[in-house]
Structure 1
Amino acid sequence: MEILKKERDDAMLQSGKLKKIVVFGGGTGLSTLLRGLKIHSVDLTAVVTVADDGGSSGRLLDEYDIPPPGDVRKVMAALSDVEPLIEKMFEYRFSTSEDLKGHSLGNLMLAALTDITGDFARAVEQMSRILNIKGKVLPAANQRITLHAELEDGTIITGESKIPVYGRKIRKVYLSPQEVEPLPETVETILAADLIIFGPGSLYTSILPTILVPAIREAVLACKAKKVYISNLTTQAGETYRYTASEHVQALYDHAGEAFIDTVLLNGLDISTLLGSSGQMESPWPVENDLEALGKLVPHIVVKDIASVVEGSALHNSEKVAEWLIEYMGNAIEAG
Structure 2
Amino acid sequence: MSFMKWIKPGLGIKRWIFLGLIGIISFSFGLSTIFYKTVFNLVQNWIIITCLIIVGVILIVFSIKKSIQSILKVVCNYKGYNALDKETINKLLYKEKILNKGPKIVVIGGGTGLSVLLRGLKEYTSNITAIVTVADDGGGSGILREDLGMLPPGDIRSCLVALANTEPTMEKILQYRFKEGSLKGQSFGNLFIAAMNEIYGNFEVAIKEISNVLAVTGRVLPMTTESVKLYAKLKNGKVIEGESNIPVKSKEADSEIDHVFIKPRKLRPLEEALDVIREADCVVLGPGSLYTSVIPNLLINDLVKEIEKSQAIKVYITNVMTQPGETDNYGVVDHIDAISKHTKKSIIDYVITNIERIPPYTLIKYHEDGAKPVIITDEEEEELLSRGIGVIKDNLVDVKKNYIRHDAKKLSEIITNLVLNKRFKI
Q: TM-score, normalised by structure 2?
A: 0.73
How far the C-alpha of 1:123 sits from its partner, in A, is 0.8
Identify unmatched segments of 5+ residues in structure 1.
1-5
Q: Is the 8 A contact 1:147 1:160 kept in 2?
A: yes
Q: CA deviation at 1:32?
A: 0.7
* 1:27 matches 2:27: no
* Contact 2:233 2:260 (C-alpha < 8 Å) held by counterparts: yes
Whether the 8 Å CA contact 1:180–1:214 is kept in 2: the answer is yes
1:245/1:294 contact within 8 Å kept = no
Question: 1:1-336 residue pairs with structure 2 within 5 A?
Answer: 17-98=101-182, 100-166=183-249, 167=251, 168-271=255-358, 275-280=359-364, 281-282=366-367, 283-289=370-376, 290-336=380-426
The answer to whether the 8 A contact 1:53-1:68 is kept is yes
Letter in 2 for 1:249: I
The answer to whether the 8 Å contact 1:243/1:288 transfers is no
> Between Structure 1 and Structure 2, which shows a larger proportion of strand residues?
1
TM-aligned CA deviation for residue 333 of structure 1: 2.0
Aligned residue for 2:302, secondary structure, equals: helix
The answer as to whether partners of 2:116 and 2:162 remain within 8 angstroms in 1 is yes
Q: Give the letter for the 1:221 counterpart.
A: E
TM-score, normalised by the number of residues in structure 1: 0.92
8 Å contact kept, 2:353–2:375: no
Larger proportion of helix: 2
1:3 maps to: none
8 A Cα contact 1:90 1:104, kept in partner? yes
* CA–CA distance in structure 2, aligned partners of residues 253 and 30 of structure 1: 20
2:260 and 2:280 map into 1 onto residues whose CA distance is: 26
Aligned partners of 1:231, 1:277: CA distance in 2, in Å?
A: 22
Structure 2 residue runs without a partner (length 5+): 1-91
Q: CA RMSD in A?
A: 1.9
AA at the equivalent of 1:192: E
Change in Cα spacing, 1:258 to 1:90, as seen in structure 2 (3 Å) is same
- Are residues 18 and 314 of structure 1, via their aligned partners in 2, closer, same or farther at CA, if it must alter by over 3 Å? closer
Whether the 8 Å contact between 2:282 and 2:312 is mirrored in structure 1 is yes
Q: Partner of 1:77: helix, strand, or coil?
A: helix
Per-residue Cα deviation, 1:71-96 (whole angstroms, up to 9, x for no partner):
10111111111000001101111111
Moved over 6 A (4+): 9-13
Distance 1:256-1:12 versus aligned 2 partners, 3 A rule: farther
Identity value in percent: 38
Instruction: State the 1:10 CA deviation.
Output: 9.5
Q: CA deviation at 1:19?
A: 2.4
The structure with the largest alpha-carbon Rg is 2
Per-residue deviation, 1:277:
2.2
Task: State how far apart, in whole Å, the 2-side matches of 1:17 and 1:277 are.
Answer: 43
Number of equivalences: 324
Letter in 2 for 1:331: N
State the shift of 1:328 in Å.
1.1
- For 1:83 and 1:11, the matched residues in 2 are separated by 22
Greater relative contact order (CA < 8 Å, ≥ 6 in sequence): 1
Is the contact between residue 355 and residue 375 of structure 2 (CA under 8 Å) also seen in structure 1?
no
Please give the per-residue CA displacement for 1:119-146, whole angstroms capped at 9, x wherever unaligned.
Answer: 1111111111111111100000112110
1:51, 1:68 within 8 Å by CA — same for their partners in 2? yes
Q: CA deviation at 1:219?
A: 1.2
In structure 1, C-alpha distance between the alignment counterparts of 2:389 and 2:285, rounded to whole Å: 16
The separation in 1 between residues aligned to 2:299 and 2:190, in whole angstroms, is 24
Per-residue deviation at 1:12? 7.7
